[in-house]
Amino acid sequence: MEENTIKVGNYVIIQRQNYTKLQKMKENCTVTLGKDVIDIDAVLGHRYDETFRMVLKSGTKRTYMLEEVSQLTLTNNTQVEESGIDNRDIIDDGKSQTLSKSEIENLRDRALSSGDIVQKLVENSRTFNSKTEYSQEKYLKKKEKKYFEYIQVRKPSIRLLAQMFYRQDPNKTLGIRLDDLSQLLTYANVHSDGHYLLYDSGTSGLVAASILNSIGHDTRGHLVHMHPGNECQKSALQAMHFPDEQQRRCINVNLYSVLRCYHQNDIPELTTETDTAKRKQTEEDTQQRKKPTWQYENERACRILREQVDGLIIVAKEHPVNVTKELIAFLKGDRCVVVFSLVREPLQDLYFHLKERTDFVSINLSSNFMRSYQVLPERTHPEVSMNFGGYILTAYKLIKLTC
Amino acid sequence: MSFRSFKSTIDEGDTVILYLTIHQIYSVKAEVKTLSKKGVLIDNVFQTQYGALKCGDLIGQKYGTKIQLSKGWGYVLQPTPELWTLTLPHRTQIIYTPDISMIILQLELAPGSIVIESGTGSGSLSHAFIRSVKPHGHLHTFDFHEQRVQTVEEEFKDHGLIEWVTVKKRDVCSEGFGSELEHRADAVFLDLPHPWLAVPHSKLALKETGGRICSFSPCIEQVQKTCLILLKLGFHEIQTIEIIQTQYSIQTRSIGVLNLDFVKVKKCEDSQEKQEKEILRTVTAVPPTTQPGHTGFLTFATLPPIWARTLAQENNDLCTDCV
Ligand SMILES: C[S@@+](CC[C@H](N)C(=O)[O-])C[C@H]1O[C@@H](n2cnc3c(N)ncnc32)[C@H](O)[C@@H]1O
């Protein structure tokens, strides 16, 4: 059960209904959800997925503490006395709610439960009783959502992180949608026993974390994660809290610096990477340890690149042709390159580049239509809002036999 | 054994992907002889548009190379679950890579996961499941069709995957997944005509620390029944989606440009006819004229850990619109 306990240092996902937020657990930690400030200290030592109720701190407005709940004060107890048959008599003149905005805020500050607030709203609505049963239900749902006072603490997973980033701002992950992400992983054949190369210019670490997650713990796979900046983006990598041995198999290197190292430096041979005990004794290693981490990581990456990789994934802000051209040299023959882009034209350019080279087959460009459904008795239909994903190019590299 | 791990050379008995064009892609076995339909041993020859391939000749060749056919050439690739999905012998309807990808991500599978699947069908999804969970996870797959169970088990053995999968013949709607799998699974996947009947058994099979479930159904009525029972049994985050992939053909189109300026000036005998036709070249991605517009609805849900179950159920009642 240890791994299900929320501890200081863990990244957790705070969820209030459908809203989620990533948070690192510290002592005396607060999180801001909309206008509400919540002191989340109380969740430490509890288990993931437990539910907590927001309780107003005395003397404050909209600052809350959390209280464990074993039973929800069920909010669906609002009394519905009457319903109309249809909405022909409903006039939306903005005057149906007799409580003023500040009166409603006041209810909130008095720390009433969401159920009580909704009850008050209903009592003070001129039109509620003439609404149809369906609209009443919709009204209640909407209001309860607004005043919902329960939160849950979730353990981050790739699914939750990808959905959260996308909902907050698709730009945080270069517009990669859940279906796009899922297909990068399958088309690149990412699994426990391969070495993979990723160039990612800004998905908050999501793609790297997803690949490392699929490589798994206690396996032999590695990921060389190239990024354009001084530091790689790693929110998602940290949030996933991978065991050390797994995290170490994600080698984060700067694109320019690792390529310079590859082309211009002699890379010292290592007998086996895991053989740390033995390495410690060798002279070479004394030198190794004097090296800055980035240089050590560059060399580790170069050793993998020299052996070539089993899959290449590119998720770039930049035009993909040049970077792909450079990096496919590190891809083994018979393996797949997968490139994501939010816009199609750069991938069309890449398509022509690969076509000309003659050592790529099965060059494919695709995109997805994806939509969600509301499934309710007598009321099933596609969700009213939808969004658009990006484009994916895949191609298999051939081995050029020198004959 | 060519599914087990990455390899570079084709060995005897390997399943090999033969790539001719984007629409002509097949799987063959690298064997000199094969059994004919009548059960007689004959030469293993595969006929293509570009001539015949003696499959025995593939042995010893490198994966990822060009091979000569009598009237052209092809390429040989090592099978991956994606390539297998495109080339496998269909014994049932199968699930394709866009849906498979989403299923694997949303079921939160990773090496070490224990996953249950029913029905096995043609094993298209199973191959991708096995790749995700090996080397320390396991797939338990069930189908009530004797022949399909046997064939797919043969395939798993032949592909070198059998150590990560257990195939059982069983009607999971009436008999469930068996007591040995109670509270063992991280995820359950259903592709059945009556998935709602298997949901209670799925709940029993999922770990006490919780897990994910997915049901794939072509019809919305199946989805409605499944969602209702999921809700009733305390699953949360119930979500139904569909995914349709479009593959484009990249083309450079030459498009004639109409020049209408000349109508504004008086016709002048000689110059008119000789004017060069203006052509614009534009690169475009053309979708196919027809493509599948529906595969199935994917319904996902979470079974919360045992310590959060009753509460999650009430939470569900509160926000059915996240359904
Ligand atoms: C559409 S196929 C599954 C295809 C599979 N997902 C694939 O990708 O290859 C459905 C399978 O479910 C099996 N099936 C139907 N009802 C069943 C039941 N009650 N118990 C077990 N298997 C069942 C059928 O025999 C059939 O093989």
**B123-152 residues touching A, CB cutoff 8 A:** 128, 131-132, 134-136
Q: Which residues line ligand 1 (CB under 6 A)?
A: B 92-95, 118-119, 121-125, 142-145, 148, 171-173, 191-193
User: HSE-up of A151 (CA within 13 Å, CB side)?
Assistant: 25
Are A317 and A331 within 8 A, CB to CB? Answer: no
Local confidence band at B300 (pLDDT 50, 70, 90 cut-offs): very high
Are A300 and A251 within 8 A, CB to CB? Answer: yes
Q: How far apart are CA A301 and CA A296, in angstroms?
A: 9
pTM of model > 0.80: yes
Of A46, A73, A100, which marks where a domain is finished?
A: A73
Residue A239: per-residue pLDDT: 96
- Write out the two tokens for A85: 């048959």
Residue A106: per-residue pLDDT: 74
User: Residue B317: pLDDT above 70?
Assistant: no
Query: For residue A60, what is the domain's CATH number?
Result: 3.10.330
Residue B50: per-residue pLDDT: 93
- Considering only A136-145, B26-35, B122-131, B280-289, which range has the smallest mean pLDDT? A136-145
Asked if the Cβ–Cβ distance from A186 to B314 is below 8 Å, we say no
List the single best residue of A173, A182, A328, A378 to mutate versus B (max B Cβ within 10 A): A182
Is there a domain that residue A86 lies in?
Answer: no
Asked if the Cβ–Cβ distance from A178 to B64 is below 8 Å, we say no
- CATH code for the part of the protein at B15-79: 3.10.330.20
Local confidence band at B139 (pLDDT 50, 70, 90 cut-offs): very high
Is there a domain that residue A403 lies in?
Answer: no
Q: Which of B187, B173, B164 is nearest to B143 (CA)?
A: B173
One domain for residues A60 and A204: no
Query: For residue A265, what is the domain's CATH number?
Result: 3.40.50.150
pLDDT tens digits for range A4-20 = 899 999 999 999 888 89
Q: From B191, B196, B197, B219, give the residue whose CB has the most ligand 1 atoms within 8 Å, as the site to mutate.
A: B191
Residue A364 host element (H or E): strand A360-374
Residue B270: per-residue pLDDT: 60
Mean pLDDT on A131-145: 75
Asked if the Cβ–Cβ distance from A194 to B65 is below 8 Å, we say no
ipTM of the complex: 0.93
> Ligand 1 center to residue B120 CA distance, Å?
5
Name A48's Cβ contacts closer than 8 Å, sequence gap at least 6: A4, A6, A12, A153, A154, A155, B305
Residue B323: per-residue pLDDT: 33
Mean pLDDT on A88-113: 73
Mean pLDDT on B110-123: 97
Q: How far apart are CA B109 and CA B103, in angstroms?
A: 9
Residue scoring higher pLDDT (B225 or A117): B225
Proportion of chain A above pLDDT 90, given as a percent = 59
> Ligand 1 center to residue A193 CA distance, Å?
30
The three-point CA angle A109-A114-A117 to 5° equals 70
Number of inter-chain CB pairs under 8 A, A vs B = 213
- Strand ranges in chain B using DSSP code E only, listed in sequence order: 15-21, 24-29, 33-35, 41-43, 45-48, 51-54, 65-69, 72-77, 114-118, 138-143, 165-169, 187-190, 211-217, 236-257, 278-286, 297-303
pLDDT tens digits for range B164-217 = 999 999 999 999 999 999 999 999 999 999 999 999 999 999 999 999 999 999
Local confidence band at B311 (pLDDT 50, 70, 90 cut-offs): low
Asked if the Cβ–Cβ distance from B323 to A213 is below 8 Å, we say no
Is there a domain that residue A154 lies in?
Answer: no
Is there a domain that residue A391 lies in?
Answer: yes
Residue A119: per-residue pLDDT: 77
User: Residue A115: pLDDT above 90?
Assistant: no
Strand-strand pairing, A309-315 and A250-254 = unpaired
pLDDT tens digits for range A56-95 = 888 888 889 898 887 655 444 555 667 777 777 777 777 7
Residue A279: per-residue pLDDT: 47
For tokens 């990581």, name the residue: A297
- Considering only A124-128, A263-267, B38-42, B96-100, which range has the smallest mean pLDDT? A124-128
Please write down the long-range contacts of B223-228, taking CB distance under 8 Å and 24 or more positions apart: B223/A373, B223/A375, B223/A380, B223/B297, B223/B299, B224/A375, B224/A377, B224/A380, B225/B195, B225/B196, B226/B195, B226/B196, B226/B199, B226/B299, B227/A375, B227/B299, B227/B323, B228/A377, B228/B196
Partners of residue B136 in chain A, C-beta under 8 Å: 216, 218
Mean pLDDT on A352-358: 94
Residue A74: per-residue pLDDT: 46
Q: How far apart are CA B121 and CA B124, in angstroms?
A: 8
Burial B195-222, CB ≥16 within 10 A → b, else e: bbbbbebbbbbbbebbbbbbbbbeeeeb
Residue B322: per-residue pLDDT: 38
- Considering only A36-45, B148-157, B222-231, B280-289, which range has the smallest mean pLDDT? A36-45
**B31-50 residues touching A, CB cutoff 8 A:** none
Name B245's Cβ contacts closer than 8 Å, sequence gap at least 6: A366, A367, A368, A369, B96, B97, B98
Minimum distance, in Å, between the CA of residue A97 and any CA atom of chain B: 23
One domain for residues A68 and A169: no
One domain for residues A238 and A345: yes
User: Residue B316: pLDDT above 90?
Assistant: no
Please name the CATH architecture into which domain B86-244+293-322 falls: 3-Layer(aba) Sandwich (3.40)
Are B177 and B114 within 8 A, CB to CB? Answer: no
User: Residue A26: pLDDT above 60?
Assistant: yes
- Considering only A110-119, A355-364, B60-69, which range has the smallest mean pLDDT? A110-119
Of A73, A99, A119, which marks where a domain is finished?
A: A73
User: SS3 for B248?
Assistant: strand
Which residue range forms the structural domain that includes residue A301? Answer: 164-397
Residue A35: per-residue pLDDT: 84
Residue A372: per-residue pLDDT: 96
Local confidence band at B96 (pLDDT 50, 70, 90 cut-offs): very high
First-to-last alpha carbon distance for chain A, in angstroms, is 60
Of A31, A46, A73, which marks where a domain is finished?
A: A73
User: Residue B319: pLDDT above 50?
Assistant: no
Is there a domain that residue A380 lies in?
Answer: yes
> Ligand 1 center to residue B306 CA distance, Å?
30
Residue A58: per-residue pLDDT: 83
Q: Where are the domains of chain B?
A: 15-79, 86-244+293-322
Tally of domains within chain A: 2
User: Residue A271: pLDDT above 80?
Assistant: no
- Considering only A140-149, A269-278, B82-91, B279-288, which range has the smallest mean pLDDT? A269-278
Q: What is the per-residue DSSP string for B42-55? A: EE-EEEETTEEEEG
Strand partners, A23: A12
Proportion of chain A above pLDDT 70, given as a percent = 88
Partners of residue B308 in chain A, C-beta under 8 Å: 47, 49-51, 152
pLDDT tens digits for range A272-293 = 555 554 444 555 555 555 778 8
Nearest to A351 among B131, B238, B250 (CB): B250
Residue B318: per-residue pLDDT: 44
Mean pLDDT of chain A: 87
Are A50 and A24 within 8 A, CB to CB? Answer: no
pLDDT tens digits for range A151-199 = 899 999 999 999 999 999 999 999 999 999 999 999 999 999 999 999 9
The chain B residue lying nearest A138, using CA atoms, is B321
